[in-house]
Amino acid sequence: MDMRALAAAAIGTISVTGAASAGFVNATVDIHGRGIIAGTITYRVSVHFDSPLDKLLAVFGDVANGNAAVRFASSAPLVQDDLGLPGLSDFFQGAGSPVQGPGDSWVTLGLDPVSANAAFSPGFLGGGWGAAPVIVGAYFEDPAEGWYDANPGTVVNGGSIVIAQFTVPENANFDFYGTVGWQLGGAGGPLKSSFGVATPAPGALALLGLAGILGRRRRR
């Protein structure tokens, strides 16, 4: 299914990349928590716009038009904190959800339980997600599909919008790429911007921590 049609119908930072466009700024990955599940680090990926009126429509692959595929690649499999229910564990269910713990790995279009109505496009990862969770393992990629706002009556606005949470073992690192479909000021035709984020290697995290300690000592 053409994600452009779906989008039209839906009408501390670690590492950052992004194709800047009027409205779209970049994407970032940040540590959300350490040890929510013992021995892991939980990260959140956000996309950023220069106006709170800009509207996020979808996250998808758009290789055919020169944009990024949706791609997640990690040095270790994602850690899960849920009941493993298809259609629930793949998406953010809200704080305190009885089927999803705080350290789960998922994708979303924001954290507002009213407007975060994300759903996979029918062909995403071959469509097999209807039988089993797919935000699992150490790798997934799709050149043309993704997730979109399944309820056009809601609006996913904001200068910064969370699109994914990934929990991995504390010695792991990952990269995550994709294309965002969005509207400037919440109106007009859908626009597209590629993004990419990556965590540093585990050794680099240790060096960043050491640099912070040394910096504090020097200031004293």
**pLDDT score at 17:** 52
pLDDT tens-place string over residues 114-154: 777 899 999 999 887 777 899 999 999 999 999 999 887 77
Residue with tokens 């680090």: 41
Cα Rg of the chain (Å, integer): 17
Residue pair 39/170 in contact (Cβ under 8 Å)? The answer is yes
Residue pair 45/167 in contact (Cβ under 8 Å)? The answer is no
As given in the structure block, the two tokens for residue 147 are 């997730």
> What is the H or E stretch that residue 178 is in?
strand 174-183
- 7 has pLDDT over 50: no
Q: Which of 169, 171, 174, 167 is nearest to 206 (CA)?
A: 171
DSSP result, 166-214: EEEETT--EEEEEEEEEEGGG-SS-EEEEEEEEPPPHHHHHHHHHHHHH
Would you list the domain boundaries of the chain? Answer: 3-219
pLDDT tens-place string over residues 140-198: 999 999 999 988 777 788 889 999 999 999 999 999 999 999 999 878 888 999 999 99
End-to-end CA distance of the chain, in Å? 59
- 212 has pLDDT over 60: no
pLDDT tens-place string over residues 64-93: 999 999 999 999 999 999 998 887 889 999
- 16 has pLDDT over 60: no
**pLDDT score at 69:** 98
As given in the structure block, the two tokens for residue 71 are 């791609």
SS3 annotation, 84-128: CCCCCCCECCCCCCCCECCCCCEECCCCCCCCCCEEECCCHHHHH
Residue pair 133/81 in contact (Cβ under 8 Å)? The answer is no
CB hemisphere CA count around 16 (13 angstroms)? 12
As given in the structure block, the two tokens for residue 29 are 């990955």
Indicate the pTM of the whole model. 0.84
Mean pLDDT of 9-29: 62
